[in-house]
């Protein structure tokens, strides 16, 4: 009988959370967050959101401005020690508009005990990669 790992596949969990937001399935997206989780968008000038309900409300409000909305994962890397770097492309058509907006950004997601501790998005991919590598090293 083979022994299955009890360690969660963080890349897969991360992918599922991002795809759930893309589908606007906020119940599924929030399944990876705990009561102490943080969504730190201060690098984007938007502040920090703490707790499942607050993060969910922020994501719902953000996606509600779009009639069409999707998030495509371009890169989703496990840097070790519970740190995932994801590069995503967000596309959307704002309500009442015919034009689409597109945003390429990277997020550093810190995991512990199978839950997201913090997500920090960056518009500068290199800055995000450097932050993710530093955090992974610090958590070692």
In the sheet that holds 33-40, the strands lie side by side as: 48-50, 33-40, 115-122, 100-112, 83-94, 66-80
Note whether residue 1 is domain-resident: no
Where is average pLDDT lowest: 1-5, 71-75, 117-121?
Answer: 1-5
Question: What is the C-alpha to C-alpha distance for residues 77 and 100, in angstroms, rounded to an integer?
Answer: 28
With respect to residue 32, please indicate whether it lies within any of the assigned structural domains. Answer: yes
Domain span at 65 = 10-139
Please, what is the average pLDDT of the chain? Answer: 93
66 within domain boundaries: yes
77 within domain boundaries:
yes
Q: How far apart are CA 66 and CA 84, in angstroms?
A: 27
φ/ψ of residue 101, rounded to 5: -105, 145
- For the chain, give the percent of residues with pLDDT over 90: 90
pTM (whole model) above 0.85:
yes
Number of domains within the chain? 1
Tens-digit pLDDT profile for residues 79-110: 999 999 999 999 999 988 999 999 999 999 99
Flag the least confident range among 44-48, 66-70, 125-129, 135-139. Answer: 44-48
Spatial distance between the Cα atoms of 98 and 113, rounded to a whole number of angstroms: 43
Question: Could you tell me the CATH number of the domain that includes residue 16?
Answer: 3.10.450.50
The answer to whether position 74 is within a domain reads: yes
3: in domain: no
């Amino acid at each position: 009988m083979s022994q299955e790992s009890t360690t969660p596949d963080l890349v897969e969990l991360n992918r599922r959370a991002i795809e759930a937001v893309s589908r606007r399935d906020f119940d599924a997206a929030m399944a990876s967050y705990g009561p102490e989780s943080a969504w730190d968008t201060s690098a984007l000038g938007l502040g920090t959101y703490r707790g499942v309900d607050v993060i969910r409300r922020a994501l719902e409000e953000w996606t509600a401005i779009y009639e069409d909305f999707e998030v495509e994962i371009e890169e989703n890397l496990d840097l070790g020690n519970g740190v995932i770097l994801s590069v995503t492309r967000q596309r959307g058509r704002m309500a009442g508009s015919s034009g689409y907006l597109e945003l390429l950004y990277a997020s550093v997601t810190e995991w512990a005990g199978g839950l997201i501790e913090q997500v920090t998005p960056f518009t500068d991919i290199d800055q995000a990669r450097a932050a993710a590598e530093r955090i992974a090293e610090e958590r070692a």
